[in-house]
Structures are given as structure tokens and as C-alpha cells.
Amino acid sequence: MTEPALDRGQGLALWRQIAGLLEREINAGQRTAGDRLPTEAELSAQFGVNRHTVRRALEALSARGLVRVEQGRGSFVAEDVLDYPLGGRTRFSETIRRQNREPQGRILQLQEVEADSQVAEALGLKRGRPVLRVVRLGLADGRPILVGRHHFPLPRFDRLAEHLRAEASITAALAACGVPDYRRRVTRLTARMPTPEEAGLLQQARTRPILAGEAINTDAAGQPVDYTLGIYAAGRVQIVVEGGA
């Protein structure tokens, strides 16, 4: 795509001109949702400016939600934001499929650990009791949406890891362990900046905030079965609170 020349005599900062040109192309449909933008080096060559100028233009577009910048992958035209309902019965795969997207889960860690005070209180255990920690990455159409750090009490769920190795579905694994359904007792959400590890897993810039959630799920008898610390890619997800949540 040939870019028009910049007007270096009009008194408007070059990075603003570049941002404006890219925005007009996006609004005109010349660059569509999900399209990868040229690299900083390529844009620098096209516009005859240094990479710092291009980077500032991309940062401005990212701040306005028009462009998403991913660590190690480049810059892309932002897609529509997914609605992520939080209610008494929240299921990742069902939520993604309802919006005509393809869900996928990846188990990143399965580890038996001792419950710290936060996990123990949430699950109604004594501190130091064993729990299974499961770190799972949730994706929609191949894009990372959510990283969940789940905690399940042991020995009740001592076979859960086996089922998760076969299929990366928390719901299916719990059903195989005798919990055919579970409901969310409470959810707490806060906004913060991601750690380097979190930004890498979500493939987003470290300067872009994430939503951090804390949730307790219970079985039919009201016993806690899962304490989850989740992080959501705020640029790709908007949380919808349903009635009764």
C-alpha cells in the first residue's frame, strides 16, 4: 500500500499525521480488523521518518483502541471486543461459541502446592493443605483472552490432573471427578498493569492494562471446588455482569 507524502510544512507533528493517515485507512476499510500493520522499520521507510516517530503514532492509535500491539508479533488493526458475561454459571467455551468464535484451551501448568492463606480461606481449608494448581490459557479464534490460575482441594480432586492432560476443559474434568455442575459464588474484578509474564501470555503490550478477577466456584452442596485468579486481556474483552451475578 502506497502512503501519501507527509506535509512537513503545515506545523502538525509528523507522528500525528501518520496516525491520522492510518486511522483514515482503517475507517475506510483499507485495513480491516485483524490485519497486520507494516513493521516500524517499514513504516519508517515509507514515510521517511525515524522509528521513534512511527512508534509514537502507533502508541496513539493503540491508546484509542484502533490498533493492538503484541509483544514479539507486531501491530494489528483491533478486532471487535468480545462480551464476557459473568453470572452464576460462567463457562468459557460456551461464552466464546455464543459469539461465533472458536474456543480453545491450553494447560500451561499442573502442580500440587500448599495452600497459602488466600487460597486456604477461599476454599475453606487450613493453610498448608495440598491443592492442585492449574494454569490454563483460554483463546478465541487463536487469540489469547484469559489466563486462569485455578486451585482445587486435594485429595478430593486427585484425579483432576489426569483428566486435564487428556482434555483442557475444566468443566469436563470436574464432571469426571463427580461435579457435573458448579456455580460461581463470588467474583471480584480490579484493573492493573500486567507483569511481563502476563503480557507475554496474553500477547499484549506491557503498557496496556489487564482486568484481574478473583472467583470462587461451588458444587451443588455449596462446597468450594475451585478458587480462580484470572487475568483478562482488557483490550479484547468487556465484562458483562448478568442478573444474579
Query: What is the band of 77 on the pLDDT scale with cuts at 50, 70, 90?
Result: confident
Instruction: Indicate if the pLDDT at residue 151 is higher than 70.
Output: yes
Phi then psi for residue 96, to 5 deg, are -70, -40
Q: Give the count of beta carbons closer than 10 Å to the beta carbon of residue 103.
A: 18
Instruction: Indicate if the pLDDT at residue 2 is higher than 60.
Output: no
Domains and CATH numbers, the chain: 14-77 (1.10.10.10), 82-241 (3.40.1410.10)
Q: Which three cell numbers stand for residue 75?
A: 501491530
How far, in Å, CA of 118 to CA of 40, rounded?
A: 44
Q: Which three cell numbers stand for residue 74?
A: 507486531
Average pLDDT value for the chain? 89
Instruction: Indicate if the pLDDT at residue 116 is higher than 90.
Output: yes
pLDDT value of residue 217: 96
Is the pLDDT higher at 194 or at 27?
A: 194
Q: Name the most confidently modeled range: 76-80, 141-145, 179-183.
A: 179-183
Instruction: Indicate if the pLDDT at residue 115 is higher than 60.
Output: yes
**What whole-number percentage of the chain has pLDDT above 70?**
96
pLDDT value of residue 242: 65
> Where is average pLDDT lowest: 17-26, 108-117, 217-226, 234-243?
234-243
Is the pLDDT higher at 161 or at 68?
A: 161
Q: Name the most confidently modeled range: 16-30, 113-127, 134-148.
A: 113-127
Per-residue pLDDT averaged across 176-203, rounded? 92
How far, in Å, CA of 85 to CA of 245, rounded?
A: 9
Looking at the DSSP bridge assignments, the partners of residue 134 are 110, 150
Per-residue pLDDT averaged across 7-34, rounded? 85
Q: What is the pLDDT of residues 192-207, one digit of tens each?
A: 999 999 999 998 878 7
Instruction: Indicate if the pLDDT at residue 1 is higher than 60.
Output: no
- Helices of type H across 116-207: 117-123, 160-166, 170-176, 196-202
150 contacts 134 by C-beta, under 8 angstroms: yes
> Where is average pLDDT lowest: 15-19, 81-85, 158-162, 223-227?
81-85
pLDDT value of residue 245: 43
Give every CB contact of residue 126 below 8 A, 6+ residues apart in sequence. 115, 120
Query: What is the band of 26 on the pLDDT scale with cuts at 50, 70, 90?
Result: confident
pLDDT value of residue 4: 60
Which residue, chain included where needed, has cell 479484547?
A: 236
